[in-house]
Structure 1
Amino acid sequence: MKRYFSEFLRIFDLHASGKWFLLASAIGVVAGLGAIAFQFLSHLVLHYALSSVTGFHPREAAGEHAVFEPEETPFQPWLIVVVMTGGGVVSGLLVYTFAPEAEGHGTDAAIDAFHNKRGQIRGRIGVVKTLASAITLGTGGSGGREGPIAQIGASFGSFLSQKLNLSARDTRILMAAGMGAGVGAIFRAPLAGALFAGEIMYRDADLESDVIVPTAISSIVAYSVFALSMPQEMWFTHLFGQGLTYRPSSLLELIPFGLMAIVLVLFAIVYIKTFYGVHHLFKKIPVPPHIKPAIGAAIAGLLGIGTFFWCGQNPQALAVLATGYGTLQDAITPGVTVSMAVLLIVAVVKILTTSLTISSGGSGGVFGPSMVIGGCIGTATGMFFQQTLFPELVKNPQMYGIVGMAGFFAACAHAPISTIIMVSEMTGDYNLLLPTMWTSTLCFLLCRRWSLYTKQVPTRLESPAHRGDFIVDVLEGILVKDVYRKDRKIRLVPEGTSLDDIVHKLATTHQHYFPVVDADEKVVGIFSADDVRSWLYDDSIWKLANARDVMVTNIVSVTPDDDLNTALRRFTALNIDEIPILDPANDDRLTGMLRRKEVIAAYNRRLMEYKVAAEESRSPVSSN
């Protein structure tokens, strides 16, 4: 397959933009199909494991549709706890048996792979994440869909790149393209999906510009494929809202939106601290990790049922479980009654149930719950302003709910631009761009110290993915085998050699580091002359001790094909002057010793070559 693909690129000269069009389109198709499969599995588990058993039918937003017709089952709220606990058990067994890195919300794992793992994600993660997340969300766990589908798309992008033996840079780009495609498809927001993948990588105001065009292509294709799974009349139905209109009549209207930004930031800080506080708490619980998601799900279920009864058996209060989109739909729809108290209770308890579901090891996203929390807080704040402080300025509290959705996640995720676009695409209303941009920017600036994604790095400058982009890597391309002295005789010490013999050998050699070998001449340890000196205080033990007692078994080594950057990092890690060179092609036998001064000499030679080349490029060219 790889040979035919390379030949296709060569014939049509598609090694530049055409390459990204083909690869991103392929990723978009798979991400779209993955979103369909994930959506179907979630509804399948929801119908047979939750709705048919407990009578609980989580309400969705206006643009969603049920795959299965709900059955007439008596509502039994306490069975919800049982079902959620069972879902936690199955999800935990799946994740921690087959792919432990698939636990949690998924987006952080994709960000970490981009920065620190050369964009490489194991192919099985997509499958495990799909199943585990569908079970978690389908049994009533409080989570979102963006984390799972982002990791599903990212894992395929990484898999495709590795199969084609593409570079690390290309692998990162395709991984991000899969991530954005999944988000763009599942939320039906292709433009936002493209921007999300580039913006979510960094904590500060930075953007991974290399991924924007490939991700835009993959996101459009994924959205188009995912739309095929919906009925014809649903294609142009937006996820939230009913086209609320906003006509600013005075700049003073930005004042209550600015005050709401402060409220959103305070709740965002509580959300982040609670989320990771619960995570640290579950790490200390002395039970197998497979069981922790069940414990978290059980407590979340109890909280959900308690909230339902506390709010007078109001079904809107059950938004603290599952996605909660139905209550959010009510909160931002004019004419639908939701009390301020219920909105605030849902927001606070949703923070707890999401933290318990995801931070305990359950599989699900955090974007969806953030939308619910931010929307409820926003609408409640708008209602408060309308009733007390700004009755003339606040005409429609529901607008504050839509703006609150964007502002809250912009604060939590440090992704203001993609969030603004995503909420606008999801609600179908771009009239709110002005207050949304104002509020989201303020939230982003005020919440810069806290982030829901711990694997974000501040900027491209701090990202290991861009190491070498801003400085010249002088040691690039120089390998260990190019610099060490191959004619140097290294004295090996058999592991049974007595300390007395070792002391006498030290007197007859200038060698400082001594590899210790077994009967097959495989290196089993190493010691230095300084290590021997610590034994010289008592010559009575020279006959008793041997090389095994003196040597260090934790060997820091390099191979002949390692570059000098790798060698230099290992020199500095332990502050040593020589490192053994072991050849993996020859049963890890000693090939030689690399000295720190040899690396420094190679560095100086390469630096001089750069200097000479720079001077020659500046010198005038003589004409004949």
Structure 2
Amino acid sequence: MKFINRIIDALDIRSSGRWFFYSALVGVAAGVGAIAFYLLSQLVIRFALAQFAGYTPPMPAGEQPLFPPAETPLMPWMIVVVMTLGGLVSGTLVYWLAPEADGAGGNTAIDAFHNGRGDIRGRVPLVKMVASAVTLGTGGSGGQEGPIALIGAGIGSWLGARLKLSHRDRRILLAAGMGAGVGAIFRAPLAGAIFAGEILYSDADLEADVIVPAATASIVAYSVFTQALPAETRFLPLFGENLYHSFSSPVELLPYSALAAVLIAGGILYVSSFDLVGRLFGRLPVVRHLRPAIGALLAGLVGIGLWYVFAGDMRALAVLGIGYGTLHETLNAASGLGIPLLLAIALTKILTTSLTIGSGGSGGVFGPSMVIGGCLGAAVGLVFQAAMPALAIEPEAFAVVGMAGFFAGVARAPISTIIMVRALTGDFGLLVPTMLVSTLTFITCNRWKLYRMQVPTRMDSKAHRGDFLVDVLEGLRVRDVCQSAQHTLLIDESMTLDEIVHLLAENQQHYFPVVDRQQNMVGIFTDDDVRSYLYNDAIWRLAVAGDVMTSPFVSVAPEDDLNTALKRFTSLNVDELPVIDPEKPRQLIGMLRRKETIAAYNQRLMEHKQAAADA
């Protein structure tokens, strides 16, 4: 047993096993939550939108309807009514029970990680699940990623609280829950794990501590979720059988660069529209419960208006709901839609998503981003197919790259998006152009981001403020900051209190080292120590420095780091520490002040930030 325990200790199995257990728990719960969310969404579509409006949104090949179709004929204006009622139900649920569950959901999870110590109220996942299922199931333009990310994050936070974990560990479980939910619902466990670490920051930074727990939770959640799917689609990519498009010449990167420019313009329009609609709805003189209903009403009118403009083409209704059905057709036969319809869907989808989510409706932004990026990409591909026939351009390939490039820019998550789109389409032949376009959009869209609660880097996160304090302080030495003993007034141990009082009146020094005849330090006192004797001047000539000083005293060495010094400042509640040469005990080198220690930290932090800005 001793031998086994030594092996366990050497391999740190107790620590890793603990995290495997925690992550697996989160994965099981998130997988069950993803099943419930998926079933509830399908249920609302069948018995609300299909039953009363006669409209069932087309699904991609990797999904199948779970309920038999309704026999109700299509009634376009009834779609608007169902959407409005869905917005009313969703808004009432959210603002009555959990206001933090409004909107896309990702911002709430990110904010809880950075600023909320990993705490999300236990009711939030349930409210978000029901409200999002109602919003999406009744035709609201949104996606599944935001809701399932918040559902998974809430589950991770709740488990962390029940297990009485530290704030740091609770944050890790929160992020692992985000990754588990996304990895399950999109059947992309690797993308879910990377998404959990990447989505927290707007710059090229990653929360490395969450990757392994998120990977474990995502694998478990994926395994649980796929058991609820029909056997024939269980292991298919979301958009059906694997697509394959080749990349054969670097010359093709020129039209892909033009695609990046179009996606950047579309991303700026998307984020600006999202923010503008959110501000406008925030000023509406109505109770917040009604705003999602108003947004759904307007989105429904816009969607039906586009349907009429294109003479009843059902593909135009991709601007409502998630829109994956039309996107699936785009990925397989973009020329069948044509440039006008593709551009109209992309631009109108920006508006309907802004109205649905910006008004406070509950839904994600990933699904709409895929539709917008895919349609823009296909339209650009059709243009270059006609303009450059010698390159044999495939518009469908541009649609795949457009999906990844668009969301990578506006969500500030290029790596996980590239992996996600590969998993959704099964297409691994376009890695080079996808990387190029995603990098260009990520770099250029720095000022425009969908997730407002993202912070630039780990240095800017409150969750890591203490980590960086230690890191920066450990990089500084006492000798770099302390004041030389030449500038410090030393007190002889035989000096009378009367002489000390007169020195204090003429000196601004607060801490006074006491030395013997050999100039070895024997103690230290402060001006406050002297004040306790001022009430009785009879002892001024009797007491000497040796009676006032504190001995033994705590000191630091020149080679100590400032983190060590700050711990001693804090533990003793003092503002100055003597610096002693360890090779010459009691030989005073200088004095280290707390305020100079903090000033050195702030200066080094500013240098790091400036270096990061210049890089």
User: Scaled by the length of structure 1, what TM-score is found?
Assistant: 0.75
Matched with 1:207 is: 206
The amino acid across from 1:289 in the alignment is R
- Most deviating of 326-335 and 242-251: 242-251
Q: Distance in 1 between matches of 2:102 and 2:376?
A: 28
Q: How does 1:115-134 map to 2 (within 5 A)?
A: 115-134=114-133
Secondary structure of the residue aligned to 1:232 is: coil
Secondary structure of the residue aligned to 1:221 is: helix
Deviation at 1:335, TM superposition (A): 7.5
Q: Distance in 2 between matches of 1:174 and 1:15?
A: 17
Q: Distance in 1 between matches of 2:260 and 2:465?
A: 36
Q: Distance in 2 between matches of 1:348 and 1:322?
A: 15
Q: Say if 1:15 and 1:606 are closer, same or farther in 2 by CA, change over 3 A.
A: farther
Residue 171, structure 1, aligned to residue 142, structure 2: no
Q: Distance in 2 between matches of 1:201 and 1:48?
A: 37
Matched with 2:251 is: 252
Secondary structure of the residue aligned to 2:78 is: helix
Residue 279, structure 1, aligned to residue 278, structure 2: yes
Q: How does 1:167-566 map to 2 (within 5 A)?
A: 167-240=166-239, 242-334=241-333, 337-388=336-387, 390-472=388-470
Identity, in percent, stands at 57
Q: Distance in 2 between matches of 1:459 and 1:259?
A: 30
Deviations 1:63-96 (A, max 9, x none): 0111111122111000011100100111011000
Q: Distance in 2 between matches of 1:467 and 1:348?
A: 41
Q: Distance in 2 between matches of 1:450 and 1:466?
A: 24
Secondary structure of the residue aligned to 1:286 is: coil
Q: Say if 1:225 and 1:377 are closer, same or farther in 2 by CA, change over 3 A.
A: same
The amino acid across from 2:349 in the alignment is K
Number of equivalences: 484
Q: Say if 1:159 and 1:137 are closer, same or farther in 2 by CA, change over 3 A.
A: same
Conserved in 2, the CA contact under 8 Å of 1:382 and 1:394?
no
Conserved in 1, the CA contact under 8 Å of 2:226 and 2:235?
no
Q: Distance in 2 between matches of 1:73 and 1:617?
A: 92
Q: Distance in 2 between matches of 1:114 and 1:618?
A: 49
Matched with 2:44 is: 45
Q: Say if 1:162 and 1:14 are closer, same or farther in 2 by CA, change over 3 A.
A: farther
Conserved in 1, the CA contact under 8 Å of 2:334 and 2:396?
no
Deviations 1:147-179 (A, max 9, x none): 111101100100111111111110100000000
The amino acid across from 2:400 in the alignment is I
Secondary structure of the residue aligned to 2:70 is: coil
Deviations 1:348-404 (A, max 9, x none): 01001001001101100001100000000000110011112x222242110000000
Conserved in 2, the CA contact under 8 Å of 1:253 and 1:394?
no
Conserved in 1, the CA contact under 8 Å of 2:404 and 2:418?
yes
Matched with 2:157 is: 158
Q: Distance in 2 between matches of 1:617 and 1:470?
A: 32
Deviation at 1:601, TM superposition (A): 7.8
Conserved in 1, the CA contact under 8 Å of 2:296 and 2:355?
yes
Deviation at 1:41, TM superposition (A): 0.5
The amino acid across from 2:408 in the alignment is A
Deviation at 1:242, TM superposition (A): 4.3
In the alignment, structure 2 segments of 5+ residues that lack a partner are 1-7, 474-566, 586-615
Q: Say if 1:472 and 1:377 are closer, same or farther in 2 by CA, change over 3 A.
A: same
Q: Say if 1:610 and 1:456 are closer, same or farther in 2 by CA, change over 3 A.
A: farther
| RMSD, aligned α-carbons | 2.4
Q: Say if 1:291 and 1:213 are closer, same or farther in 2 by CA, change over 3 A.
A: same
Q: How does 1:15-94 map to 2 (within 5 A)?
A: 15-94=14-93
Secondary structure of the residue aligned to 1:267 is: helix
Q: Say if 1:474 and 1:272 are closer, same or farther in 2 by CA, change over 3 A.
A: closer
Q: Distance in 2 between matches of 1:38 and 1:95?
A: 16
Conserved in 2, the CA contact under 8 Å of 1:474 and 1:603?
no
User: Scaled by the length of structure 2, what TM-score is found?
Assistant: 0.76
- Most deviating of 233-242 and 214-223: 233-242
Secondary structure of the residue aligned to 1:73 is: coil
Matched with 1:546 is: none
Q: Say if 1:336 and 1:239 are closer, same or farther in 2 by CA, change over 3 A.
A: farther
Deviations 1:225-255 (A, max 9, x none): 0000011111221112643333333211111
In the alignment, structure 1 segments of 5+ residues that lack a partner are 1-8, 476-598, 620-624
The amino acid across from 1:459 in the alignment is T
Secondary structure of the residue aligned to 1:16 is: helix
Conserved in 1, the CA contact under 8 Å of 2:264 and 2:445?
yes
Q: Distance in 1 between matches of 2:575 and 2:162?
A: 37
Residue 136, structure 1, aligned to residue 135, structure 2: yes
Secondary structure of the residue aligned to 1:64 is: coil
The amino acid across from 2:128 in the alignment is K
Conserved in 2, the CA contact under 8 Å of 1:27 and 1:157?
yes
Q: Say if 1:266 and 1:474 are closer, same or farther in 2 by CA, change over 3 A.
A: closer
The amino acid across from 2:77 in the alignment is W
Q: Distance in 1 between matches of 2:378 and 2:409?
A: 17
Q: Say if 1:13 and 1:399 are closer, same or farther in 2 by CA, change over 3 A.
A: closer
The amino acid across from 2:417 in the alignment is T
